């Protein structure tokens, strides 16, 4: 696959260098920007993909599919007070799956993102994950109003021998069962306010799992980062005892010793889940290290469906990574657990709610509330999901933030943080998804 990657990158770079400069000098309305920016992407990938597809479609064991998404956001006070701004993130994903030598399953995915922002330097392209050993991405025009990123998001082999499954390479890894935010989802979790959660970001890992009984499994995984200190080595266990799901995980997570445990079941018509994880801190009191010698995360989530069709998810979250003092939020934001994506919240205690209701088979309304119990700030996001066709979906949303706003210190003239969401921007937009 090395020769294929080198050839692909050279071809793409040569075409992108020709297409990107003139496009980056153009100015469009945020709502019209996706149509303009996605055209060169389709041309580039069409040149590359068409020959592969013409061969693959004649083979029974190979399939090619993917998605085209356009995320458009308008934000108040962006990037500063009394200013407005917008961004458009358009991405196309190509997934190839099939068999290799009739014994192994191959998965390969390319993900291309084009980013436009109304003000240069405000929003950056995603950096390479701490859970990736190999740099298989290419950025161009970083920091400008128009920029792009091409990455290999999947590149792995999978095999099965009886009850034993294994996988090797860049792959999706997820743990935990809690829906809103799981303390056991420790490798590459989604932020609790993420809108597009279709595809989990791939990580470089070796994984082996043995299944037993009706729902039992025991496994091990090694996840490799750019440096040795970023490697993770974990053992996992899952089983069902008398209709109660039991999960356990333990080992080393990017230099930290950790243990985790989870339960899931039902009490009457109420679904209940509980999870707990504990970590031994590393590089404590060092710049961008952990803040505490040891810390933990815990959550309890309930699920209930009312007779009228309303579905309600509710979660209490203890975020031991955070602080109960708003003045320390900047320190928390610079700590290792936040930069690694282990958590995305800055305080200790939260209430999360996620209601949803289907008005029509093609229209669903949902919402998200993240309430900071410490400083009484919140993020509220109503959302409308519309199915436009079998493979076409439109999401409309608006995020409202409440809480005490930051103040300027009279002596230092530096901002004083008084709440987590109080100084955040209200924002809204749309996400259009097409699957092929």
Q: Is residue 180 part of a domain?
A: yes
Q: Low-confidence residues of the chain, pLDDT below 70?
A: 1-60, 79-82, 413
Number of domains in the chain: 2
pLDDT in tens, 259-270: 999 999 999 999
Whether 298 and 273 have beta carbons less than 8 Å apart is answered as no
User: Are 129 and 195 found together in one domain?
Assistant: no
State the DSSP string of 376-399. --EEEEEEEEEEEETTEEEEEEEE
pLDDT, position 119: 86
Whether 276 and 261 have beta carbons less than 8 Å apart is answered as yes
pLDDT, position 94: 97
User: Are 210 and 82 found together in one domain?
Assistant: no
User: Are 313 and 360 found together in one domain?
Assistant: yes
Q: Distance between the two ends of the chain, CA-based, in angstroms?
A: 25
Q: What is the DSSP letter of 423?
A: T
Q: Is residue 316 part of a domain?
A: yes
Whether 90 and 149 have beta carbons less than 8 Å apart is answered as no
Q: Return all residues near 358 (Cβ < 8 A) that are at least 6 apart.
A: 309, 364, 365
User: Are 243 and 134 found together in one domain?
Assistant: no
Host domain of residue 205: 172-384
Task: Give phi and psi for 271, each to the nearest 5.
Answer: -85, 135
pLDDT, position 408: 80
User: Are 204 and 289 found together in one domain?
Assistant: yes
Element (H, E) at 105: strand 104-117
pLDDT, position 48: 46
User: Are 219 and 354 found together in one domain?
Assistant: yes
pLDDT, position 79: 66
User: Are 136 and 266 found together in one domain?
Assistant: no
Domain final residue, candidates 118, 152, 186: 152
HSE-CB for 361 with a 13 A CA cutoff: 2
User: Are 86 and 50 found together in one domain?
Assistant: yes
Q: Is residue 48 part of a domain?
A: yes
Q: Return all residues near 189 (Cβ < 8 A) that are at least 6 apart.
A: 174, 176, 181, 182, 341, 342
Q: Give CA–CA dist 352/305, Å, rounded.
A: 17
User: Are 314 and 357 found together in one domain?
Assistant: yes
pLDDT in tens, 200-229: 999 999 999 999 988 899 999 999 999 999
Domain final residue, candidates 93, 120, 152: 152
Q: Is residue 399 part of a domain?
A: no
Q: Return all residues near 209 (Cβ < 8 A) that are at least 6 apart.
A: 164, 165, 166, 217, 218, 219, 236
Q: Give CA–CA dist 432/385, Å, rounded.
A: 10
Q: Return all residues near 89 (Cβ < 8 A) that are at least 6 apart.
A: 70, 71, 73, 113, 114, 115, 116
User: Are 48 and 133 found together in one domain?
Assistant: yes
Q: Is residue 272 part of a domain?
A: yes
Q: Is residue 15 part of a domain?
A: yes
Q: Is residue 159 part of a domain?
A: no
Whether 397 and 410 have beta carbons less than 8 Å apart is answered as no
User: Are 101 and 212 found together in one domain?
Assistant: no
Whether 382 and 357 have beta carbons less than 8 Å apart is answered as no
Q: Is residue 222 part of a domain?
A: yes
User: Are 259 and 375 found together in one domain?
Assistant: yes
Q: Return all residues near 197 (Cβ < 8 A) that are at least 6 apart.
A: 190
């Amino acid at each position: 696959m090395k020769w294929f990657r080198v050839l692909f990158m050279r071809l793409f770079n040569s075409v992108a260098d020709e297409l990107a400069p003139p496009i980056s000098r153009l100015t469009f309305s945020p709502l019209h920007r996706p149509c303009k920016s996605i055209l060169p992407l389709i041309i580039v990938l069409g040149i590359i993909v068409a020959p592969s597809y013409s061969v693959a479609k004649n083979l029974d064991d190979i399939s090619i599919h993917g998605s085209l998404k356009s995320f458009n956001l308008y934000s108040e006070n962006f990037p500063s007070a009394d200013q407005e701004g917008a961004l458009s993130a358009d991405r196309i994903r190509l997934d190839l799956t099939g068999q290799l030598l009739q014994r192994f399953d191959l998965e390969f995915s390319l993900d291309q993102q084009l980013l436009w922002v109304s003000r240069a330097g405000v929003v950056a392209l995603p950096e390479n994950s701490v859970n990736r050993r190999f740099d298989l991405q290419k950025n161009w025009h970083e920091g400008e109003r128009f920029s792009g990123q091409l990455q290999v998001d999947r590149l792995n082999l999978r095999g099965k021998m009886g009850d034993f499954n294994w996988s090797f390479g860049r792959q999706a890894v997820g743990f935990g069962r809690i829906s809103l935010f799981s303390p056991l989802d420790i490798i590459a979790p989604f932020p609790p306010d993420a809108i597009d959660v279709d595809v989990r970001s791939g990580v470089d890992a070796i994984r082996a799992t043995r299944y037993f009984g009706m729902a039992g499994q025991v496994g091990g995984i090694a996840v490799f980062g750019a440096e040795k200190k970023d490697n993770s080595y974990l053992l996992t266990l899952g089983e069902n005892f008398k209709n109660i799901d039991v999960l356990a995980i333990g080992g080393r997570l990017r230099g930290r010793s950790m243990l985790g445990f989870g339960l899931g079941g039902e009490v009457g018509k109420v679904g209940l889940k509980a999870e707990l994880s504990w970590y031994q801190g590393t590089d404590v009191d060092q710049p961008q290290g952990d803040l505490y010698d040891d810390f933990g995360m815990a959550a309890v989530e309930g699920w209930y469906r009312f007779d009228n069709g309303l579905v309600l998810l509710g979660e209490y979250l203890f975020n031991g990574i955070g602080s109960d003092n708003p003045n320390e939020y900047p320190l928390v934001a610079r700590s290792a657990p936040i930069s690694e994506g282990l958590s995305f919240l800055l305080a200790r205690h939260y209430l999360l709610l996620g209601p949803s209701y289907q008005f029509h088979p093609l229209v669903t309304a949902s919402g998200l509330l993240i309430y900071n119990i410490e400083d009484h700030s919140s993020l509220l996001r109503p959302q409308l999901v519309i199915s436009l066709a079998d493979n076409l979906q439109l999401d409309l949303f608006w995020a409202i933030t409440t809480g005490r706003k930051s103040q300027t210190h009279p002596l230092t003239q530096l901002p004083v943080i008084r709440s987590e969401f109080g100084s955040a921007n209200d924002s809204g937009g749309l996400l259009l998804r097409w699957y092929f």
